[in-house]
Amino acid sequence: MPSNKTQPARGMRDFLPADVRRREYVIGVIREVYERYGFEPLETPAVENIETLMGKYGEEGNQLIFKILKRGVHESTGEADLALRYDLTVPLARVVAEYRDKLPKFFKRYQIQPVWRADRPARGRFREFYQCDVDVLGSKSMVVEAEICAAVSDVLERLGFDDFVIVLNHREILRGILEVSGVTEEKQADALIVIDKSEKIGKDGLRRELVERGVFSEESVDDFFERFGRLAETHVGPAFDIPESRTREFEKQQQEEMNSSWLDKLSSSLDQHEGGKLGIKAVRQILDLSQNSPARGRIRFHPSLARGLSYYTGAILEVGLNIGDFRGSIGGGGRYDNLVGMFLGQDVPACGFSLGLERIIVVMTEREMFPAGLVTSPAEVMVTVWNEESVLNSIALASELRAAGLRVDLYPEADKVGKQFKYASARGIPFVAVLGDDERERGEVSIKDMKSGKQRSVKREDVASVLRNWEG
């Protein structure tokens, strides 16, 4: 334990004003886009009953849940009856099961709240972090997947991302690949772990690890590679040579060609597998339905995407960045048609996606993608205080400007004017309003533009409009 008691708990963070501004900017864009797609807001408690969460995320997930001990006289039992929520999807499923009759036939909700995982902190990875979820419940149509891809693409484009890829796969396709290759039920989980990282370890690594883990024998692995060797091909990284004169249109076309090439190959390999055929049909539909949406050319079908959360049943999605050094995904999702059924006893089809706020912020900060002025301007104008006698007058001016809708900082002490300017400069406040004895006699205020250094004296009642229409 840190003896320096002022540090936040492990994996948790304090957000200073500049941090909060960045976070709120990103959240604002996300919320605005989600609203535009007809999603409605939902909030749920930080704490859930422990049985609501346990068993929904697989072995690994259970370990990472933040459990809360029973309280008071029951504390000594060492038992946990509550837990901090691990994601926003399971609480959503609980809400839908609880309020089924009050919710519309198709429930589209977004939710932007923190979740907690007892994971090891790393870059872009914390124990308390925000997820920005969109989900649609009540429909099995692939239009839902397409809409979600469109909304996510829209958000990322509006934030200024140019190089993201939505990787798409389908649980049934994965099952098909494994079953057609003769992988036994109990080896399938192992096989998925290896296949999921096939891009990183390459063709040789894929072959080696599949044999090491006993998924295939030395002989049968060749069969597998004959049919599915392409699994090791590029997954999130650049998929094709980008020419000097690269255009989005060119990239989109390349992506579409790559998708159909993959699908054609797989559909002949899986034509004996019912589930696999279904999965391929679903993926084709999602791609078709994205033709005329912001997601066009941004979706990359890739059969090696697996994803760990155990509740997915159909399409699975993950967003990665093409360029740069951030390897982790910045979001993920998929279809989970029987999660609500675990609470309700009756299945409700569902599909959703989650963007990771802090990963987006890590990348945006590194790439300097935040609008200028977001961090640097706590106020539009600072009003100076000339001396003890004039404080009231300064407060009056500040009040007038605030009433006119400006963000106004009032220097709190009757300090030397030089210090007041220095303070405004250091805080990045663009204008300083000086209210000295001379100005007061003339019924004027001196306004200084801190960027250009220009200064002019204006009638007191005109200050707000002059500031608003200031030019150089």
Partner RNA sequence: GCGGCUAUAGUUCAGUUGGUUAGAACGCUUGACUGUGAAUCAAGAGGUCGUGGGUUCAAGUCCCACUAGCCGCCCCA
Footprint of RNA (CB under 7 A)? 1-4, 7, 10-11, 58, 60-61, 64, 87, 117-127, 129, 131, 193, 196-197, 200, 307-309, 318-319, 325, 327-332, 354-356, 358-359, 416-419, 421-422, 425-426, 434, 436-439, 446, 448, 450-451, 453, 455
Query: Furthest-apart CA pair in the chain: how many Å?
Result: 97
| Rounded Cα gap, residues 204 and 156, in angstroms | 34
Q: Which amino acid is at 454?
A: K
Taking the complex as a whole, how short is the minimal distance between the CB of residue 11 and RNA, in angstroms? 5
The two three-digit tokens of residue 404, written as one number:
């006119």
**Which one, 140 or 442, has the nearer CB to RNA?**
442
Q: How many CA atoms lie within 13 A of 430 on its CB side?
A: 16
**Which one, 216 or 312, has the nearer CB to RNA?**
312
**Which one, 103 or 396, has the nearer CB to RNA?**
396
**Which one, 263 or 382, has the nearer CB to RNA?**
382
**Which one, 105 or 416, has the nearer CB to RNA?**
416
The gap from C-alpha 353 to its chain's centroid, in whole angstroms, comes to 9
Phi, psi of 224 (to 5 degrees): -60, -45
Taking the complex as a whole, how short is the minimal distance between the CB of residue 36 and RNA, in angstroms? 22
CA dihedral of 371, 162, 356, 201, whole degrees rounded to 10: -140
CA dihedral of 265, 271, 276, 282, whole degrees rounded to 10: 70
Taking the complex as a whole, how short is the minimal distance between the CB of residue 195 and RNA, in angstroms? 11
**Which one, 218 or 441, has the nearer CB to RNA?**
441
**Which one, 197 or 227, has the nearer CB to RNA?**
197
Alpha-helix residue ranges (DSSP H) falling in 56-197: 58-64, 89-98, 142-159, 171-180, 188-196
| Rounded Cα gap, residues 125 and 119, in angstroms | 8
165 touches 387 (CB < 8 A): no
| Rounded Cα gap, residues 11 and 211, in angstroms | 37
Taking the complex as a whole, how short is the minimal distance between the CB of residue 446 and RNA, in angstroms? 5
Taking the complex as a whole, how short is the minimal distance between the CB of residue 449 and RNA, in angstroms? 7
Taking the complex as a whole, how short is the minimal distance between the CB of residue 271 and RNA, in angstroms? 29
**Which one, 129 or 370, has the nearer CB to RNA?**
129
Taking the complex as a whole, how short is the minimal distance between the CB of residue 396 and RNA, in angstroms? 17
| Rounded Cα gap, residues 60 and 120, in angstroms | 13
The two three-digit tokens of residue 449, written as one number:
């533009």
45 touches 114 (CB < 8 A): no
Taking the complex as a whole, how short is the minimal distance between the CB of residue 196 and RNA, in angstroms? 7
**Which one, 129 or 301, has the nearer CB to RNA?**
129
Taking the complex as a whole, how short is the minimal distance between the CB of residue 234 and RNA, in angstroms? 16
CB atoms within 10 A of CB 354: 25
| Rounded Cα gap, residues 41 and 237, in angstroms | 34
